[in-house]
A and B are shown apart, each in its own frame.
Chain A
Amino acid sequence: DVKVTQSSRYLVKRTGEKVFLECVQDMDHENMFWYRQDPGLGLRLIYFSYDVKMKEKGDIPEGYSVSREKKERFSLILESASTNQTSMYLCASSNRVNEQFFGPGTRLTVL
């Protein structure tokens, strides 16, 4: 059974903290993605990676960075968390133009 896992389902952080969200996939997929989901706005792409150590900005990269040191792992980093980064964060992986497989999501609250 294919799987995308995320390090936390729920996370509460304070403004200014550095936050790491981890995502691991076991399908040997080339592509990995980080989205945030907010009511009425759908899924918005933050960053994606098509290979190890490669990354590209999505539609809303400001305030975020990413790291992909291994093929199966893609990390999202909030260098200095702010309240407007309170959201649901979803990781996904895919092979080229095929379907994306999503993780369960991390609901992040920044106080």
Chain B
Amino acid sequence: GQQVMQIPQYQHVQEGEDFTTYCNSSTTLSNIQWYKQRPGGHPVFLIQLVKSGEVKKQKRLTFQFGEAKKNSSLHITATQTTDVGTYFCAESNYAGGTSYGKLTFGQGTILTVHP
């Protein structure tokens, strides 16, 4: 089935540095959702990207969807200790009516922020 590859697996940064995680697919993605999971917590939805070349911002977070809809990225500017956690991308599968809403997750990027 559809595979979404996410890199890097781990990222350690000093507080104030920037951070980026990437999602790549060999096939065209229908849309991309991004989730954040705090340590000990559960994934929480951040955003959904649908259009080719789409860019959305949430405060210090910038989300991009590639022009060919085969990749996406999440960039955090000036990381803070509250940004610690695992960031997942996920593709929503439009394979058929009964598959609406099914997600295929990337492996996640674990972000550590050193104060």
**Bound CA span A43–B103, Å:** 10
Residues of B in contact (CB 8 Å), total 26
B43 touches A102 (CB 8 A): yes
Q: Could you count the A-B residue pairs with CB atoms below 8 Å apart for me: how many are there? A: 65
Point out the residue from B88, B94, B105 that lies within 8 Å of A97, measured CB to CB: B94
Cα–Cα distance between A95 and B48 once the two chains are bound (Å): 14
Considering the complex, give the chain A residue whose CB is closest to the CB of B42. A102
Task: Specify the chain B residue showing the minimal Cβ separation from A58.
Answer: B102
The count of residues in chain A whose C-beta lies closer than 8 Å to any C-beta of chain B is 30
Chain A residues proximal to chain B, CB less than 8 Å: 30-31, 33, 35, 40-45, 48, 50, 54, 56, 58-59, 90, 92, 94-105
- 18 contacts across the A-B interface (CB closer than 8 A): A31-B100, A41-B107, A42-B6, A42-B105, A43-B43, A43-B105, A43-B108, A45-B102, A50-B98, A50-B100, A59-B1, A92-B43, A94-B101, A98-B48, A100-B43, A100-B101, A102-B42, A105-B42
Add 12 more A-B contacts to A48-B101, A99-B48, A104-B42 (CB < 8 A): A31-B100, A31-B101, A31-B102, A40-B9, A43-B43, A43-B105, A95-B101, A97-B101, A99-B45, A100-B103, A101-B45, A104-B41
